[in-house]
Amino acid sequence: MANTQSKEVNLTKRVQTSKGLRYCPIVLSPNGRVKPDLVIVNGQQERHSEGAYYLEWRENGKRVRLSVGKDAQDASARRTPVAYSVINTM
């Protein structure tokens, strides 16, 4: 049976919204860097200084999330090493 899982690692930020705490996608600048504190909520960019960044990926069909701190640049830097280790273990 072929492995059809996505080997993608996403960077999200857990923030307080009107519907409670949510994991929201981060916003990238045109050069690919993370824009600190900007996330997408209901299709719109919003600034949220609260919250922490998380890496998320799937292992055997189950979503896995790893907290990588409150700093956008540190979180982005951790995205690449984790992505390679996740992909190599699949």
Question: For residue 77, what pLDDT is reported?
Answer: 86
Question: For residue 20, what pLDDT is reported?
Answer: 95
Question: For residue 1, what pLDDT is reported?
Answer: 40
Average of pLDDT values for 67-83? 83
Phi, psi for 64 (deg, rounded to 5):
-120, 135
Question: For residue 40, what pLDDT is reported?
Answer: 97
User: Measured between alpha carbons, how far is 26 from 52 in angstroms, rounded to an integer?
Assistant: 11
For every residue of the chain, DSSP letters joined together read: ---------EEEEEEEETTEEEEEEEEE-TTS-EEEEEEEETTEEEE--SSEEEEEEEETTEEEEEEEES-HHHHHHHHHHHHHHHHHH-
Question: For residue 78, what pLDDT is reported?
Answer: 84
Query: What would the pLDDT profile of 1-60 be if each residue is shown by its tens digit?
Result: 445 445 788 999 999 999 999 999 999 999 989 999 999 999 999 999 999 999 998 888
Q: What is the CATH number of domain 10-89?
A: 3.30.160
